[in-house]
Amino acid sequence: MLVQIVFASLMVISFLTPGYHGVEIIGGNDVKPHSRCYMASIQIFNNRKNAYAHQCGGTLIDRNWVLTAAHCNLEFGKNKIQVVVGAHSLKINETTKQILAVQDKFPYPCFDKSTGENDIMLLKLAQGAKLNKYVTLLKLPNGKDVKSGTSCTVAGWGITSAQSKDPSDTLKEVKITVIDRSVCNRKDYYNLKPVITTNMICAGDKKGKSDSCVGDSGGPLICKKKFSGIVSFGFKCADPKKPGIYTRITEDYLKWIKKTVAGVETYNTEPEILY
């Protein structure tokens, strides 16, 4: 099974030039059920099927907030989006699942869909998740860069092969390695189309057997047990010369996250009635 992260829906929506996609899980394996309790499935209402379908991954960073990729916005109204936490299988009606409505969306103000720069977004939940052994938070990092050669993991419900169109029913995870940006910008890699910047992490497998692809976009990249990035985009699936690209959680993004969460929480908090 290849591992490549892309959009989780049945349709693949390119947000860069033709051929680019969000990232999916190829070459990975099922994780131990409920061992990645911070994972969120972001689902969009499908009018044709009259049901919600997995679109992107996300990370629960606060009872009321999910961090994901800005390209997962896709202009859907918030009443068309729901977040599922506490899940291992998307199809089975697990008692551990919590289905949460989205109150508002906050894509990073400077997101550039043509280059993938600043591909990060916050979702404000209408009701806070109930934390328990199946639903937990993932701590934000310190913003430091990840060195090339570092072994990382990425999990998601994305498609599991370059030929597949359907997302995985169960949560899968794959191991990948961080590649130096200078390598990923070479002519035989991305050739500066787009430029892999310091706000991004390039990671994959030299043999092209492991990657992220469709349906895993927005999910977390974990390096040395730290939340280091967000699945952003790629070109083809499991192509060794087109590794997955991840939004690096930088100090600037951390400041924006904290400011947004604090500002909205303050704004939405009604004063206590004392009389």
CA pseudo-torsion sign 13, 15, 20, 24: negative
Identified catalytic residue from 9, 54, 88, 119: 119
- C-alpha span between 205 and 239 (Å, rounded): 8
Is 104 among the residues known to form the active site?
A: no
pLDDT of residue 161: 58
Q: How far is CA 99 from the centre of its chain?
A: 18
pLDDT of residue 165: 64
Per-residue pLDDT 10s for the chain (275 aa) are: 333 433 333 223 334 433 444 545 555 688 899 999 999 999 999 888 899 999 999 999 999 999 999 999 767 777 889 999 999 999 999 999 999 999 999 999 999 999 999 999 999 999 999 999 999 999 999 999 999 999 999 999 987 655 556 778 899 998 999 999 999 999 999 999 999 999 999 999 877 555 455 558 999 999 999 999 999 998 766 577 889 999 999 999 999 999 999 987 654 433 333 32
Residue 40 tokens, joined: 């969120």
207 class by beta-carbon count within 10 Å (0-12 exposed, 13-18 middle, 19+ buried): exposed
Domains of the chain with bracketed CATH: 37-125 (2.40.10.10), 150-250 (2.40.10.10)
pLDDT of residue 203: 94
Identified catalytic residue from 71, 211, 212, 216: 71
The contacts of residue 96 (CB under 8 Å, 6+ apart) are: 34, 86, 87, 88, 134, 135
pLDDT of residue 1: 34
Q: Answer yes or no: are the C-beta atoms of 85 and 39 closer than 8 Å.
A: yes
pLDDT of residue 269: 36
Is 168 among the residues known to form the active site?
A: no
Identified catalytic residue from 41, 217, 228, 232: 217
- Cα dihedral 241, 196, 22, 20, rounded to 10, equals -60
pLDDT of residue 141: 97
Is 71 among the residues known to form the active site?
A: yes
